[in-house]
Structure formats: structure tokens, C-alpha cells
Amino acid sequence: MGEVEAIETLDDEWQPVALYHVTRGLRWQVREVLDDWTHPGWPGETYQKPVPQKRYRLRVFGPLPRQPDPSTGSSS
């Protein structure tokens, strides 16, 4: 799975413990932080100022997005 826009809940050591998937409205619990890194923000998003952005690769637990039901598809 690629990057997703999420709102994170952090613990006392600034590590993610929960995520809220913005687009799909799903809540996930973080099981493990696999990797984390910081990189500069994109100029268009940071008003031409160097703003670091934190990124994580996580193992999460929670509901999966619903798959479309093929029996309700339209037929021609």
C-alpha cells in the first residue's frame, strides 16, 4: 500500500500509536513502527520555507476498506 493521508495519535516519545485514515474514515491501531524518516517539505506546500516532514512505515491493525459487491454491479 502506498502513502495515505492520516491523522496520527502520538505517545509520550512522539511515536504513532493510532491512525485515522482521512479519505476512508478508518481508525487503525499501530502494532509496530517499521521505519521512520524526515525529509524537507515540498516548496508549494510549505510557502517556500524549508519545513521538515516526518514519515513513517507502520504495521497497523484495524478494519479493511469495504470491497465493492460484484453482484450489485450494473449490466448492459
Using one digit for the tens of pLDDT, what is the confidence trace for 36-59? Answer: 988 776 666 556 667 777 888 999
Residue with cell string 492520516: 6
**What is each CA distance from 25 to 13, 17, 58, 72, in whole angstroms?**
26, 17, 18, 23
Lowest-confidence region among 3-7, 29-33, 61-65: 3-7
